[in-house]
Amino acid sequence: MPEKETTSRNTRPRRGLLSIVFGRGAVAAMLLLAQFGFVFMLFSRLQRYSLYLTGTVTVLTAVFMAYLLNTRSNPSIKLTWCFIIALVPVFGVLLYLFITFDWGHRAEQRVLQTIEQETARLMPPQQELMDRLRTEEPGFWPLAHYLADANGYPVYENTAVEYYSQGETKYEAMLRELEKAEKFIFLEYFIVEEGEMWDTVLDILTRKVRQGVDVRMLYDGTCSILRLPSSYPKKLRALGIQCRVFAPIRPFISTSYNNRDHRKILVVDGKVGFTGGVNLADEYINRRARYGHWKDAAVMLRGDAVRSLTIMFLRMWNAGERQHVYEPFLFPPTQSQDGREGYVIPYGDSPLDNELTGEMVYLDMLATARDYVYIMTPYLILDNEMLTALTFAARRGVDVRLILPGIPDKKYANLLAKGHYRVLTEAGVKLYEYTPGFVHSKVFVSDDTKAVVGTINLDYRSLYLHFECAAYLYKSPAIPAILQDFSDTFPQCHAITMRDVQQQKLSTRLTAAILKIAAPLM
């Protein structure tokens, strides 16, 4: 890489450090100092009133905790906040209000909610198909009804699916499809970083712009911390690529750290779409070794179901537009083939509504499984609902297996995962650690008939706080390839036994127990 680019990259951590110092971390530090200042004042200057002040704080804390326990959030999250508020009342209450009320981007929330409502009309009619599914596929219809009725994500036929068990094969496929683009290219990614992968993609995008192709790039604002300079959108615009940063990191006022755009979407001409775990950085295609071999997964959709991926992208893109244009990028559905290619439901999950779509789909797969459920996930930070679903499925005789990283990318996440090992293993859930390196795939497959491939991890951030997406597959010809991926991967793993669990270090068990208190906020 040219020396100039390397020098520029070496300066990014400083810029990222400043963003952290002047962001939510600084607010948390100031609020904690306020707590200590309050206590100091209480016992020094207002000592004779300390009894009354302590009583007032205690009563107000109890009232606030009662309010908190009656909110609609997850019980695990409520308990975490109650613990923090009981431990440091002033700090806890102020931090809760700062994060929950989200002053940093509430206007953005309203815009996105309005856009979701206005795009509901763009989804294809479902009544005839849903009536047929209710009769012909009674096991599939309830989830399809939930995703369509409660979330606005329809079922599609006439969609071919290709599964990629490695980032390298997805990368090769996306380069081929990018070269074919004639009208437009939409990219929405959580991570983008200069290197072989992104530089090759950028070269194609630049050539396509010269050919008159409409190219739009949307990436998450956390990239500006370590991955890309804050001026990078200007560079892309100079090349003719329309570019936006979702929720850029801003000093002090940015509470939007919690609600990141974790999606990975590529749409070419509205005919081909990609999603899955693969970002646009070299570790995802093993051109750069970070945590051993990086295992990831993705799917390519070709056909009618790409419409939903296109609309998902345009919803986020149009949040920054005065005029919202959709129709030129959408095409009428093809003639029905009665499920010949199976059924596909691309769906998204938003932290701005009260629907935990990503978790509900996973819970449904566990609840309806008869034979097996195989899962790949990089993180295992479970709420009570997911932990109960996993253990109950195993206890009723379902073969539940999880493939986790052998070399983790985050130590705290690995410790939290190990904190669940005993309960899961005792219930009969089989755990595997991928010994060659890090698993970044987010894949479920069950009973040879249904699968999910997307961006949704088994942790609080993905299930509660991030914008996510995935593709639900039912009776798709791609499902055997997904099952084969698991069959090929199990032999490369270390199977966790009860002996492994019992031999965990005391420090590991204690650290995991402590981290569980704050897990919903990580």
Return the minimum-mean-pLDDT range out of 72-76, 97-101, 465-469: 97-101
Helical segments of 230-354, H only = 232-238, 306-317
Q: How far apart are the first and last CA of the chain?
A: 35
Return the closest-CA partner of residue 442 out of 298, 289, 308.
298
297: its two tokens:
């997964």
Render 403-421 in DSSP notation, one character per residue. EEESS-S-HHHHHHHHTTH
Residue 56 — pLDDT band, cuts 50, 70, 90?
Answer: confident
Assign 3-class secondary structure to 296-313.
CCEEEEEECCHHHHHHHH
420: its two tokens:
């669940």
Tell me the C-alpha distance between 260 and 272, whole Å. 25
Compute the C-alpha angle 233/236/239, nearest 5°: 150
284: its two tokens:
């995802």
Check whether 269 has a pLDDT greater than 80.
yes
Q: Which residue has the higher pLDDT, 408 or 13?
A: 408
The full set of domains in the chain, from first to last, is: 3-101 (no CATH), 106-145+153-346 (3.30.870.10), 357-521 (3.30.870.10)
Q: Count, in order, helices (H) and strands (E) of the chain.
A: 22, 17
Residue 19 — pLDDT band, cuts 50, 70, 90?
Answer: very low
Burial letters 247-270, b for 16+ CB under 10 A, else e: bbbeeeebbbbbbbbbbbbbbbbb
The pLDDT tens digits of the residues spanning 310-335 come to 999 999 999 877 788 898 999 888 76
Q: What is the pLDDT of residue 206?
A: 98
290: its two tokens:
């970070």
What one-letter code names the amino acid at 30?
M
Strands 399-405 and 372-376: parallel
Q: What is the pLDDT of residue 78?
A: 81
Return the closest-CA partner of residue 301 out of 285, 316, 312, 293.
312
Check whether 42 has a pLDDT greater than 60.
no
pTM recorded for the entire structure: 0.87
Render 72-135 in DSSP notation, one character per residue. SS-HHHHHHHHHHHHHSHHHHHHHHHHHHHTTTSHHHHHHHHHHHHHTGGGSPP-HHHHHHHHH
**Based on C-alpha coordinates, what's the Rg of the chain?**
24
Return the minimum-mean-pLDDT range out of 2-11, 262-271, 333-342, 483-492: 2-11
Check whether 113 has a pLDDT greater than 90.
no
The pLDDT tens digits of the residues spanning 160-183 come to 999 999 999 999 999 999 999 999
**How many CB atoms within 10 Å of residue 64?**
18
What share of the chain has pLDDT > 70, as a percent? 85
Query: What residues does 450 pair with on adjacent strands?
Result: 446, 474
Q: What is the pLDDT of residue 437?
A: 98
Tell me the C-alpha distance between 183 and 180, whole Å. 10
Phi, psi of 490 (to 5 degrees): -50, -45
What one-letter code names the amino acid at 476?
S
Query: What residues does 451 pair with on adjacent strands?
Result: 445, 473
Give, as one character, the DSSP assignment of residue 230.
T
**Largest Cα–Cα separation, the chain:** 81
The pLDDT tens digits of the residues spanning 215-252 come to 999 999 888 778 999 899 999 999 999 999 998 876 54
Check whether 281 has a pLDDT greater than 70.
yes
Under 8 Å between Cβ of 35 and 95: no
Check whether 292 has a pLDDT greater than 70.
yes
Q: What is the pLDDT of residue 512?
A: 86
- The residue whose two tokens read 């000592």 is 47
Tell me the C-alpha distance between 380 and 405, whole Å. 10
- Coarse DSSP helix, strand, coil percentages of the chain, rounded to the nearest 5 percent: 50, 20, 30
What one-letter code names the amino acid at 106?
R
Instruction: Label residue 328 exposed, middle or buried (CB < 10 Å: 0-12, 13-18, 19+).
Output: exposed
